[in-house]
């Protein structure tokens, strides 16, 4: 049994990723999650903004999980990158080629809120730190590793955008050649 709170955050995350923060109405989220109107403000006192932050947290955790799953059994750093990119490409395809980066679509989709940008910054920093840690584990120096992580992250973020414009995830699968 999934709690109402989590059901809401999951559904919201999926919709924000597809249509952006301002492209989704609370009524749609509520309807698709099967949650009555009045319930939302019990679980998310600050309403839509709280919901977006929760959704971004959930999505971020999932990305971290994918990062670790990709690098843990890898032969070397490049092998980890390759697995990671293919996993994301597959994820993109499952969503019919019409989703953006789950956290930036949610937290930058038209909101000027400082709290959103702070949250986004720390999420991104966390991803890069995790990638860098794996790079170190595979023998890179601290400096090299940060460099590698940043290079991968930036290209990846760019790939979400280009892949969406093209409805084609190939660009993600081509990333290892570009950044390793």
Partner DNA sequence: AATGAATGAGTCTTCATTCAT
Partner DNA sequence: CATGAATGAAGACTCATTCAT
Contact positions vs its own copies (CB under 8 A): 18-24, 98, 100-101, 104, 107-112, 117, 120-121, 124, 147, 150-151, 153-159, 161-162, 164-167, 171, 175, 177-179
Please state, in angstroms and rounded to a whole number, the distance separating the CA atoms of residues 21 and 49.
Answer: 9
Contacts 24+ apart (CB under 8 A), 28-32: none
Of 2, 47, 65, 142, the one binding DNA (CB under 7 A) is 47
In the complex, least distance from residue 43 CB atom to DNA, rounded to whole angstroms: 6
Task: Quickly count helices (H) and strands (E) in the chain.
Answer: 10, 0
∠ Cα 158 159 160 (to 5°): 95
43 interface partner picked from DNA, its own copies, none, CB below 5 to 8 A per type:
DNA
In the complex, least distance from residue 18 CB atom to DNA, rounded to whole angstroms: 14
Please state, in angstroms and rounded to a whole number, the distance separating the CA atoms of residues 66 and 79.
Answer: 14
Q: Which residues bind DNA (CB under 7 A)?
A: 4, 24-28, 35-43, 46-49
């Amino acid at each position: 049994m999934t709690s109402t709170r989590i059901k809401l955050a999951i559904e919201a995350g999926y919709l924000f990723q597809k249509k952006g923060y301002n492209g989704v109405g609370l009524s749609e989220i509520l309807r698709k999650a099967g949650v009555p109107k009045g319930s939302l403000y019990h679980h998310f006192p600050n309403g839509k903004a709280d919901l977006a932050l929760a959704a971004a947290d959930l999505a971020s955790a999932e990305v971290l999980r994918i990062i670790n799953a990709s690098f843990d059994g890898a032969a070397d750093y490049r092998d980890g990158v390759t697995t990671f990119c293919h996993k994301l490409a597959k994820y993109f395809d499952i969503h019919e080629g019409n989703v953006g980066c789950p956290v930036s679509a949610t937290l930058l989709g038209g909101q000027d809120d400082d709290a959103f940008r702070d949250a986004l910054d720390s999420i991104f920093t966390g991803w890069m730190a995790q990638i860098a840690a794996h790079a170190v584990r595979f023998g890179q120096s601290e400096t090299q590793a940060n460099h590698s992580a940043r290079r991968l992250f930036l290209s990846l973020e760019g790939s979400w955008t280009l892949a969406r414009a093209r409805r084609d995830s190939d660009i993600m699968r081509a990333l290892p050649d570009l950044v390793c």
